[in-house]
Amino acid sequence: MSEQEHLWERRVITKLAQASLNEQKRARRWSIFFKFLVFAYITFVLFMFLEPDMSKAQMAEKHSALVELQGIIADDETASADNIISALRSAFEDAKTKGIILRINSPGGTPVQAGYIYDEIVRLRGQYPETPLYAVVSDMAASGGYYVASAADEIYASKSSIVGSIGVRMDSFGVVEAMKKLGIESRLLTAGENKALMDPFSPVDEDARKHLQSMIDEIHQQFIDAVKEGRGERLQESDDLFTGLIWTGVEALEYGLIDKIGSASFVAREVIGAEEIVEYSVEEDVLERLVDRLGASTAKTLSKAYLTPQLH
């Protein structure tokens, strides 16, 4: 091979190597650029969701504090006692809070969680007697939702809000006859004669049924006592009041279940006297919200539904 051919090959190899190096540099630059974009996006998202809100409560003067109670009142829901109580404490502890609005839109929940919130409202009102707390019903304050509302200084609702349902329920089902028709046999083993209370695959045990009925009757009486304590002489005597019936806001006003017709903005402006509203609600966890949207909340609800007393 001639000298010129050697030089030509060397130049070609050199150019190819240089082109390869240049391509690697460009790829590296683009990789760094895209990594920077991803990092900037993640930083922005974290800032939006995790950075504490420094603007409202710290900058506002005397204001009306707002706490939202939305949805089912349960320990693993947004309207859990931990979340609502935490928000209420923050609102009461803020020296700039002139009055508190607990805006409720709930069909109810568990008696334990509703009871926790009720008791804490009573305690906070005693600790901060100069800071009134008003419950405002939007669409609904039924059962556990009304249980919580009855602890407030006053209750406001829309004319068409749903109010009441002062009762307790416990859900189960039975498939004994269907199993017989299908030739299915239940093979249940227990240690403890009452361990399988109201098992849906076994005939109803009357003693077990009576025991569970007495239990929910007791919880119902606790609910009634709480409402009577919270509402006092404002309640009107009626045989229907504690039967689990529901009423519109207009009807609830006649029964003394609420005090006036009005919205959150009305209460802030006309009752508390501080039109500016600052929200103290605990925000739902971002990852939890995503999981719920993917359907985990359905399984979670089903897992709790069986033989759990419910105020809704």
Q: How many CB atoms lie within 10 A of CB 208?
A: 16
CB 70 within 8 A of CB 105: yes
Q: How many CB atoms lie within 10 A of CB 268?
A: 25
How high does pLDDT run on average in the chain?
A: 83
Please compute the mean of the pLDDT values over residues 139-147 and round it to a whole number.
97
Predicted TM-score of the model (pTM):
0.74
Q: Distance between CA 149 and CA 167 in Å, rounded?
A: 15
The winner for highest mean pLDDT among 2-16, 64-78, 286-300 is 64-78
pLDDT of 229 > 70? The answer is yes
Q: How many CB atoms lie within 10 A of CB 105?
A: 18
Q: Distance between CA 235 and CA 115 in Å, rounded?
A: 20
Q: 3-state DSSP call for residue 202?
A: coil
Q: 3-state DSSP call for residue 69?
A: strand
84-88, 193-197, 260-264, 277-281: range with lowest mean pLDDT:
193-197
Q: What are phi and psi of 90, to 5 degrees?
A: -60, -40
pLDDT of 31 > 70? The answer is no
pLDDT digits over 160-180, tens only? 999 999 999 888 788 778 877
pLDDT of 126 > 80? The answer is yes
Residues in the chain: 312
165 Rama class: left (phi>0) / alpha (psi -120 to 50) / beta: left
pLDDT of 296 > 90? The answer is no
Please, which pLDDT band fits residue 311 given cuts at 50, 70 and 90? low
Q: How far apart are the first and last CA of the chain?
A: 95
Q: What percent of the chain has pLDDT over 90?
A: 55
